[in-house]
Chain A
Amino acid sequence: MTPNPSAETGGVGSYSLEEEEEPPLLEELEINPETIAQKSITALNPFRPTDPTLIYDTDLAGPILYYLLFCFFLLFSGKIQFSYIYGFVVQGCLSMFVLLNVMSLSRVSLGVVVSVLGYCLLPMVALAGVNILIRLKGILGMMLSVAAIYWCSVSASELFVIGLGMYHQQILVTYPCVLLYTFFAFIILF
């Protein structure tokens, strides 16, 4: 890279030269909205068989986005509990990571666990969004929450079981996911 004659003007000129050659911010951070949307649909689609290659491509941008959305929806319904949710998310992901490593024959990495759990959080985010508009306390709220928990947990456990080959332990993997997402539901409801 040789100095451009136009850069003779000084430092400011050289800055603009650099900025034009830099990739856009989202691309540089490797946050790709289309990929996030596509992965979410693949992860959560109950009608198509699950594709295990999804979990080998760990991507934390989607999960972080969903987590932030969840917290902000709760903020709009009057619950400012960012710290509890964050603490619980960290604890839950770590325990899931330990449990999966101990129960399965092949090792998992923490990124994969966080990625899968994060993408399957989307129905919970939707529930939190619904909670802003409609009070979810009665029977209808319970049924909606149960449906959302079921959807989240089954998607997550499908991904884990197919990716790790734990076919006889499907219910055993689903149950911890149920517990995890039930906590999110509790935060929304109570």
Chain B
Amino acid sequence: MYEQQYDAYGQPIPQQPQLFDDTSTQNYGYGQQVPDYSGMNYGYPQQPPQGQAAPGGGGAYGNLQGGIPGAQIFQDPMVANMAMQYGQTLASQGREYVDKKLEKYVSASQVKYYFAVDTQYVMKKLRLLFFPYTHSDWSVRYDQNQQVQPRHEVNAPDLYIPVMAVVTYILVAGLCLGLQERFSPDLLGMQASSALVWLVLEILVVLAILYITAIQTNIKYLDLLAFSSYKYVGMIVALLAGIVMESMGYYCLLAYSSFSLVIFMFRTLRWQVQGGNSEMEAYSAGNKRRLYLLLFMSGLQPVLMWWLTQHLVA
């Protein structure tokens, strides 16, 4: 397998360790008989010793063919097929590995639940965010121990509106800056990162409080993410009013959307944090703590709304 081979000029060819037995190179060549050398190397180098059989021109022809010695092996369709298949199996194996690792942290089906929305749900939810007093029933229906999809239940949290709201906020911030002649793309990037940082910080604070005060709830991380991001909708509206009507419009709409968001958050979270199913008596111990947590979270929203938008309105 490792006997020394020589190329057409009698020079020793450096040997490469063999990857696998490549039996497809039997018929490769330009109509010439390829001498059967044991231990066929896959890839470099591939000069069949053409010694005395081929004319000198043919030998030079073979040598100058590819820029890289051995490149002409890929012109053989069988070898090309095998290489492609090998690459494809590698790619799919890699993807499976990544999927398996990600399942532990963010399960795909969980995330899909939050995006199972349709236009009607989005419209109703937006109406709820701004006019929460029109709604009386805030409970979420359960379907076999799991919340019903947002598509069918308007009170369930979703992640579509929050994601769109965050991105729209970044764009509207860019618009504000642009109208004030302060725009540049890296500033947009900075706005984006600061918005995300505040979001993460808020969620971490709430999680820390939940842990420290040992409140038992059914609430999940993605739910918290959703609830914390509903304020971006109010911020967008306030910013747009600020563009149209200067500070007056901005403050008015900021006040109104803060007010409605507080009511919305309080009502929704009261239902979510208290579990809302038949095991109410197990949760009654921490009711006062729960109430404080709710008030804290609801009250935090206007403060953050103001903090993240006031530097954008002149």
Q: Chain A residues in contact with chain B, CB under 8 A? A: 1-3, 7-11, 14-15, 81, 84, 88, 99, 102-103, 168-172, 175-176, 179, 182-183, 186-187, 189-190
Q: Which chain A residues lie closer than 8 Å to B174 at the CB level?
A: 183, 186, 190
The answer to whether A1 touches B31, judged by C-beta atoms less than 8 angstroms apart, is yes
Q: Give B161-174 as 1s and 0s: 1 = Cβ < 8 Å from A's Cβ atoms.
A: 00110011001001
Tell me, yes or no, whether B35 is within 8 Å of chain A by CB.
no
The answer to whether A186 touches B175, judged by C-beta atoms less than 8 angstroms apart, is yes
Q: Given A102-B112, A189-B178, check contact A3 B55 (CB 8 Å).
A: yes
The answer to whether B178 touches A3, judged by C-beta atoms less than 8 angstroms apart, is no
Classify the secondary structure of A's interface with B: helix
Q: Given A14-B61, A168-B118, A169-B118, check contact A186 B178 (CB 8 Å).
A: yes
The answer to whether A103 touches B160, judged by C-beta atoms less than 8 angstroms apart, is yes
Given pairs A3-B61, A7-B58, A179-B164, 13 additional interface contacts (CB within 8 A): A1-B31, A2-B30, A8-B57, A9-B57, A88-B185, A99-B163, A103-B160, A168-B118, A168-B119, A172-B117, A172-B122, A186-B188, A190-B183
The distance in angstroms between the C-alpha atoms of A166 and B21, with both chains bound, is: 49
The answer to whether A10 touches B178, judged by C-beta atoms less than 8 angstroms apart, is no
**Residue among B61, B160, B183 facing the most chain A CB atoms (10 A cut-off):** B61
The answer to whether A3 touches B185, judged by C-beta atoms less than 8 angstroms apart, is no
The distance in angstroms between the C-alpha atoms of A81 and B184, with both chains bound, is: 10
The answer to whether A169 touches B164, judged by C-beta atoms less than 8 angstroms apart, is no
Q: Given A8-B55, A11-B61, A179-B171, check contact A172 B30 (CB 8 Å).
A: no
Q: Given B60, B111, B119, B167, which contacts A11 in the complex, CB threshold below 8 Å?
A: B60
The answer to whether A183 touches B119, judged by C-beta atoms less than 8 angstroms apart, is no
Q: Given A8-B55, A169-B117, check contact A186 B183 (CB 8 Å).
A: yes
Q: Which chain B residues lie closer than 8 Å to A7 at the CB level?
A: 57-58, 61
Q: Which chain B residues lie closer than 8 Å to A169 at the CB level?
A: 117-119
Q: How large is the interface on B (under 10, 10 to 19, 20 to 34, 35 or more residues)?
A: 20 to 34
The distance in angstroms between the C-alpha atoms of A55 and B36, with both chains bound, is: 49
13 A-B pairs with CB atoms under 8 Å apart are: A3-B55, A8-B57, A81-B185, A88-B185, A102-B108, A103-B117, A172-B160, A176-B167, A179-B164, A179-B171, A186-B171, A186-B178, A189-B178
Q: Which chain B residues lie closer than 8 Å to A189 at the CB level?
A: 178
Q: Which chain A residues lie closer than 8 Å to B118 at the CB level?
A: 168-169, 172
Tell me, yes or no, whether B64 is within 8 Å of chain A by CB.
yes
Cβ of B76 to closest chain A Cβ, rounded Å:
12
A-B pairs with lowest CB-CB distance, top 5: A190-B178, A190-B183, A84-B185, A3-B58, A168-B118
The answer to whether A10 touches B60, judged by C-beta atoms less than 8 angstroms apart, is yes
Tell me, yes or no, whether B54 is within 8 Å of chain A by CB.
yes
Q: Which chain A residues lie closer than 8 Å to B31 at the CB level?
A: 1-2
The answer to whether B164 touches A175, judged by C-beta atoms less than 8 angstroms apart, is yes
Within B138-194, the residues touching A (CB, 8 Å) are 160, 163-164, 167-168, 171, 174-175, 177-178, 183, 185-186, 188
The distance in angstroms between the C-alpha atoms of A10 and B65, with both chains bound, is: 12
The distance in angstroms between the C-alpha atoms of A6 and B76, with both chains bound, is: 25
